[in-house]
Structure 1
Amino acid sequence: MCGIYGTTIRYELNQIKDKLKRTSFRGPDKMGFESYNYNDSNIIFGHNRLSIIDLDPRSNQPLSYQEHIKIVFNGEIYNFRELKTDLVQKGYTFNTTSDTEVICAAYLEYGEKCVNKLNGMFAFVIYDMKKQIFFGARDRLGQKPFYYFHDEKRFEFASQVSSIQLYHKELSVSSKAIHKYLSWDYVPDTDSIFNEVKKLKAGHYFTFNLKSGSFVSNQYWDIDYKNVNKFQGSYNQAIEELEELATKAVKRRLFADVPVGVFLSGGIDSSLIAALATKTTNEKINTFSVKFNEKGFDESIYAKQVADHIKTNHHVIECNYNEGIDLIENFSHYYDEPFADPSAIPSMLLSKYTKQHVTVALSGDGGDESFIGYHRYNWVKYINNIYKAPKALRLFGATFLNSLPYYKFKMIADVIKNKSASDAYLSILYHPDSNLYENSFDDNYAFDELKYLFHNNKNIYERVSDFDIKTYLNMDINTKVDRATMAYSLEARAPLMDYTIVDFARSLPTNFKFQKNNQKRILKDVLYKHVPKEIFDRPKAGFTMPFKEWFKNDLKEFILDELNEKSLKLIPGINAGEVTKTINNHMDGTSNNYTIIWKILVLKQWINKNGSGFSIK
């Protein structure tokens, strides 16, 4: 796990160093860069290394292979040893025990199709000096970030946008991206907060031709949203196959030359990962969870029960508002685009203390999306039934609910007014709160991933699950985890995001995953072979912060100071008066508006620290 950087743009030597230093937290073990002559200009490849596999300096990057191949690589290739064996048989030789060399040899052997051979999380760029091209790729599910600037023959790329924006005088803040952020809580791919900087899509590779300046990206992997591959076995056979796939995924991710642990929330997904980890190694596993003192937010007791049963060395990290405010004030340094998922704060705290014990941590991320686990999927069940009713009856019900004073009834009314269950689900996720924003923004949420939701190849449960894998998991969860862990030089690995498990889950009948309100049915039945079912007989809990209480009490003065009406007027697109009313309503208990307050606070802090010197277009 590292940070990568490269450019064909001419910068001073000290500027290149500053660009790498800006994200040195991603890889504090070694900062390195090389310059390659090309015509009348230089190409720079840079790297911040977090040493995980082959700790020897021989694996420092940029790395050269067969003299004409240069690479910078962020991530892990979990099947690199198997690939290496195949490549040795084909005549390739290796000077290190790292996975980086294996990518280079695979590229030489298979060309662009090498990405299909890689099982891992990755973002890399290869400079092929013979062909005078950059070849790069991003992993299937977008676990590793990749930003780039392209303008004719000028090309610059990085793991985080802040490395590109530094000393770059041609960037402008995107008003369109701000609007999307205010609606989605993140800036969706392929956009970034800057008009001129883009993100490479997950599951895509690209070629940049140094001679012509052409940039072409292609998709090499996608989920089976057309419902072609269907599992043909029984439910019990599916349980056995899923357990085998998950065990292999965990075992692969336990391989490292540094200490490895597991994030353990006490929920289904992380408990399964922790249980399988203890089965695949003779060493005692370290597990980690967060504890909040606020009532209703402390799930650490359940994590402790699981840890006691599977006999891990368990660590409980306590979070209070004093530590929370420190993370909030430094948030935009690590999340260098506006990002409003409030669970980013406990994720940072968990990472901060986990790093004191291990350098790699396995997580349960990916289980909810693939196996229909979120609370909102229960909503889909009811929404689907509502849309069986005549339109006139639905509209009458919406009118009645809107007349009631309770704000949740108004939310339900807004949902059932939509023309289809797919539109209704989208409205749950997409929340522009239009009265809070200026009319200069178009109310437009269209982007390419809508095709995974609006089709007739699958039932509504499978479509929303597919859509969440391509959007929420990729653009929210993976961004949150990457930045939170990298802020403290910790590598996170997610076995349930192994593409073999994702593909398998997409092939399963819906009732294997969701039957009679039993969400993640098959995942639970695999877990119950290792941990007693009784531990999990409780409602599902999310991983979030007690912001509702903190904003009204401990952090009240901080919020009122940071988001006073004068400062709100400096934020583009914000109706300062309406936002002030929203904050006041939260403070006096009229309504719970902590998500809106957090979203505006993040944007305001980002503009304070990053917006100066850039025009907004």
Structure 2
Amino acid sequence: MCGIAGVWRFGGAPAAALEGEAAAMTDRLRHRGPDDGGVWADPAAGVALGNRRLAIVDLSPGGHQPMLSADGRVAVAFNGEIYNHPALRRELEREGVRFRSRSDTEVLVEAIARWGLDTALDRADGMFGLAVWQPERGCLTLARDRLGEKPLYWAAGPGLLLFGSELKALRAHPDFARLAGPLDATALARYLRLSWIPAPLTIHSGVRQLRPGCLLEVGPDGTPAERRYWSAEAVARQGLADPLPADDPDAAADALHRVLAESVAARMEADVPLGVFLSGGVDSSLVAALMRERAGRPVISFSIGFAERSHDESAAAAAVARHLGTEHVPLTVTARDALDLVPALPSIYDEPFADSSQLPTLLLSRLARRQVTVALTGDGGDEVFAGYERHIWAERLDRLRGRLPGPAGRLAGTALLGLPPTVWDGLIGPLVGRRRLADRVRKLATALQAGTMADLHDSLLARWPDPAALLADPLPFAAVPGAGLEPPAIAPGLPAVARMQLADALGYLPDGVLVKVDRASMAASLEARAPFLAPAVVAFGWRLPPALRVAGAQGKVLPRRLLRRYLPAALVDAPKSGFTVPIGDWLRGPLRDWAEPLLAPPVLEAAGLRPEPVLAVWRRHLDGAAGHGEALWTVLSYVAWTKAGPT
């Protein structure tokens, strides 16, 4: 795992200047690669590549980057892992390639030189942000992995292109301010609604994220052109058109075992210690079980719990660990731990990001790094195998929307929202035996009011239903309020649950979950690997018939069936609340002294926000009339970022 950065000054530049710029950029990424660093320049072209290395496979200098192919036709700066590099190496050796190291980077470089970039990426099972310079073509290509496990940012202007694994690398360049432009109001509005900024947007109007599964090609004229080399929608349609038989779930579980065990085994290859993040849920438990099966000995597992019992699921993780026989290392998070982390968040995430589970993820990564350098995770299991509540209810909500279209649905939704959350959670919830009933009612009301499946998905994730109403008028940004706020269209003609899953795979997964995990793990110099995101596992997930995705009120039907081979049913089917944080309680208590200065009207106005709607929600939250912790965390994280300044 590494961090990469680079610059292209079109027309050429002195080697010393190029190398100095690339070195300054990559130095800002030392946390991503504390073991080694290097720069390489082509002064005639004006290109410089930089790399910081976290050594995982082949710890020798043979893995030093940037790396050139043996024939000198390809130069690469690579952040990531190619898990199937042994198989690719054997094939290249049969074609006459001779290797100098055991590094997966060298395999990738020689594959690109031998087969071309598109073929090499198509055949690679990996996660990566990648820069490829081909001097004969005068072409620089940036590439990002299929599902967005690794980040890659870029900015271009007259005579110059910058790129890097994190925004802080670009900010280290002296011309960044010229390229970055003002803050992007569309990105800010989408952030306030979702708590994360969707690619290709960033908080800077002149900087972009490369989207997952895409290449950015820049030729001698300096014009960037993005194209897609892999399509999640195409894989989904292909899988749905060739479903597995629904009448033999045991055979399907056998097939899942084969493909997932192979993915786990590939992600266990490392020349450094490794472990697993274990929450006690289906996904991480299944990864831990397959690791134990593969290793033939106990693996090290790490879990996070909370002092607040209503959010603490550490007992479930401990029970799974005991049953699987892992060497379990738990940590209990307190509000004090969160408060200590808050000042570092703007620097770690570089731009506004407000999934409150970022706090325990950071602490979990620090905990794991004390003993291991690589940690496998269960990330992606919910998206690939339909594990979110919105997947479980997608078909029923879609039918309900059809029966109450237009004004009738909006009226019904308004009526449901008429009762305050305290009534739903405090009075009705206990009578029907449901926790967090108010949140479920809000989601139902949202579904009834949504016009399309894209609207529904976007609304279910919304922190602020009308983020444009929070933005100051006139805006202190070069954009029109409300512009670009429509969610991306979801592929038509697919079943409702598939459309919901695809929306998550295209948005929530790469821009929310994977951003959280990448920045948190890399801040601790820890590599996180996600077996559920292997191309073969993703393709397999799309082949599942409806009965093996969702049954009744339970998702992830097939992974649960497989996990019962390793754990008692009581552990597999125990209710889970997800990796939720008691952020609402913390904001009323230990975090209140931190939050209130950020919500002062002059501070909100300086950040480009209207104080009135924000403070109205803050007062309701403090009164206990409703829980608005996540919405407030979104605003607070943004304001804290503006006050921290560039990092």
Q: Same fold (TM over 0.5)?
A: yes
Deviation of residue 279 (structure 1)? 0.4
Deviation of residue 134 (structure 1)? 1.5
Q: State the distance in 2 between where 1:518 and 1:442 align.
A: 37
Deviation of residue 212 (structure 1)? 1.8
Q: Is the 8 A contact 2:3 2:33 kept in 1?
A: yes
Q: State the distance in 2 between where 1:411 and 1:245 align.
A: 35
Deviation of residue 280 (structure 1)? 0.5
SS of match in other structure, 1:31: strand
**Match status 1:226 vs 2:237:** yes
Q: Is the 8 A contact 1:265 1:271 kept in 2?
A: yes
280-289 or 264-273, which deviates more: 280-289
The equivalent of 2:427 in structure 1 is: none
Q: State the distance in 2 between where 1:232 and 1:560 align.
A: 54
**Match status 1:416 vs 2:416:** no
Deviation of residue 396 (structure 1)? 4.1
The equivalent of 1:71 in structure 2 is: 76
Deviation of residue 378 (structure 1)? 3.4
SS of match in other structure, 2:577: coil
Deviation of residue 137 (structure 1)? 1.4
146-155 or 121-130, which deviates more: 146-155
SS of match in other structure, 1:332: helix
- Classify 1:98/1:230 alpha carbon distance in 2 versus 1 (closer, same or farther; 3 Å): same
Q: Is the 8 A contact 2:390 2:500 kept in 1?
A: no
The equivalent of 2:6 in structure 1 is: 6
- Classify 1:433/1:19 alpha carbon distance in 2 versus 1 (closer, same or farther; 3 Å): same
Q: State the distance in 2 between where 1:414 and 1:509 align.
A: 27
- Classify 1:442/1:320 alpha carbon distance in 2 versus 1 (closer, same or farther; 3 Å): same
Q: State the distance in 2 between where 1:19 and 1:421 align.
A: 42
Q: Is the 8 A contact 1:183 1:430 kept in 2?
A: yes
Q: State the distance in 1 between where 2:142 and 2:21 align.
A: 24
Aligned counterpart in structure 2 of residue 179 of structure 1, from 176, 182, 189: 189
The equivalent of 1:155 in structure 2 is: 161
**Match status 1:58 vs 2:72:** no
The equivalent of 1:270 in structure 2 is: 284
601-610 or 494-503, which deviates more: 601-610
Aligned counterpart in structure 2 of residue 397 of structure 1, from 412, 427, 436: 412
How do residues 184-263 of structure 1 correspond to structure 2 at under 5 angstroms?
A: 184-209=194-219, 211-223=220-232, 224-226=235-237, 229-233=241-245, 234-263=248-277
SS of match in other structure, 1:280: helix
Query: What number of residue pairs does the alignment pair up?
Result: 604
SS of match in other structure, 2:359: helix
423-432 or 353-362, which deviates more: 423-432
Aligned counterpart in structure 2 of residue 561 of structure 1, from 597, 600, 603: 597
Once the two structures are aligned, what percentage of the paired residues are identical? Answer: 30
- Classify 1:232/1:322 alpha carbon distance in 2 versus 1 (closer, same or farther; 3 Å): closer
RMSD: 2.0
AA of the residue aligned to 1:180: R
Q: State the distance in 1 between where 2:78 and 2:418 align.
A: 56
The equivalent of 1:427 in structure 2 is: 459
**Match status 1:578 vs 2:613:** yes
373-382 or 429-438, which deviates more: 429-438
The equivalent of 2:557 in structure 1 is: 521
145-154 or 497-506, which deviates more: 145-154
Q: State the distance in 1 between where 2:586 and 2:171 align.
A: 33
Q: State the distance in 1 between where 2:137 and 2:417 align.
A: 63
**Match status 1:28 vs 2:34:** yes
**Match status 1:494 vs 2:506:** no
The equivalent of 2:485 in structure 1 is: 445
- Classify 1:606/1:254 alpha carbon distance in 2 versus 1 (closer, same or farther; 3 Å): same
- Classify 1:380/1:532 alpha carbon distance in 2 versus 1 (closer, same or farther; 3 Å): same
Q: State the distance in 1 between where 2:363 and 2:509 align.
A: 21
The equivalent of 1:317 in structure 2 is: 331
The equivalent of 2:130 in structure 1 is: 124
Q: Deviations over 1:102-126 (max 9, x none)?
A: 1111111211321101101011112
Q: State the distance in 2 between where 1:410 and 1:80 align.
A: 47
Deviation of residue 150 (structure 1)? 2.1
Q: State the distance in 2 between where 1:397 and 1:3 align.
A: 50
The equivalent of 2:645 in structure 1 is: 610
Q: Deviations over 1:303-340 (max 9, x none)?
A: 11111111111000121122211211100111011111
Q: Deviations over 1:523-570 (max 9, x none)?
A: 001111111111133212211221111111111111112322221111
The equivalent of 1:355 in structure 2 is: 369
The equivalent of 1:327 in structure 2 is: 341
Q: State the distance in 2 between where 1:594 and 1:443 align.
A: 27
**Match status 1:169 vs 2:169:** no
Q: Is the 8 A contact 1:383 1:424 kept in 2?
A: no
- Classify 1:489/1:583 alpha carbon distance in 2 versus 1 (closer, same or farther; 3 Å): same
Deviation of residue 406 (structure 1)? 4.3
- Classify 1:197/1:34 alpha carbon distance in 2 versus 1 (closer, same or farther; 3 Å): same
The equivalent of 1:300 in structure 2 is: 314
358-367 or 576-585, which deviates more: 576-585
Deviation of residue 464 (structure 1)? 0.3
Q: Deviations over 1:473-502 (max 9, x none)?
A: 111111111000000000000001111111
Deviation of residue 43 (structure 1)? 2.0
251-260 or 499-508, which deviates more: 499-508
Q: Is the 8 A contact 1:513 1:523 kept in 2?
A: no
The equivalent of 2:24 in structure 1 is: 18
558-567 or 87-96, which deviates more: 558-567
Q: State the distance in 1 between where 2:59 and 2:363 align.
A: 27
Q: Is the 8 A contact 1:380 1:425 kept in 2?
A: no
**Match status 1:280 vs 2:294:** yes
AA of the residue aligned to 1:193: I
Q: Is the 8 A contact 2:22 2:49 kept in 1?
A: no
- Classify 1:490/1:384 alpha carbon distance in 2 versus 1 (closer, same or farther; 3 Å): same
Q: Is the 8 A contact 2:459 2:465 kept in 1?
A: no
Aligned counterpart in structure 2 of residue 436 of structure 1, from 462, 470, 474: 470
Q: Is the 8 A contact 1:192 1:198 kept in 2?
A: yes
Deviation of residue 410 (structure 1)? 6.3
Q: State the distance in 2 between where 1:17 and 1:248 align.
A: 38
SS of match in other structure, 1:7: strand
Deviation of residue 169 (structure 1)? 2.6
SS of match in other structure, 1:515: coil
Deviation of residue 38 (structure 1)? 1.6
AA of the residue aligned to 1:164: L
- Classify 1:406/1:316 alpha carbon distance in 2 versus 1 (closer, same or farther; 3 Å): closer
494-503 or 419-428, which deviates more: 419-428
Deviation of residue 443 (structure 1)? 6.1
Q: State the distance in 2 between where 1:414 and 1:353 align.
A: 39
**Match status 1:143 vs 2:152:** no
Q: Deviations over 1:404-458 (max 9, x none)?
A: 44484666444312334553333212454324344652164335x4233xx12x2
AA of the residue aligned to 2:389: H
SS of match in other structure, 2:31: helix
SS of match in other structure, 1:492: strand
- Classify 1:561/1:399 alpha carbon distance in 2 versus 1 (closer, same or farther; 3 Å): closer
Flag the structure with higher helix content. 2
Please, which runs of 5 or more residues in structure 2 have no aligned partner?
Answer: 423-437, 476-480
Q: State the distance in 1 between where 2:646 and 2:55 align.
A: 33
AA of the residue aligned to 2:455: D
Q: State the distance in 2 between where 1:475 and 1:411 align.
A: 21
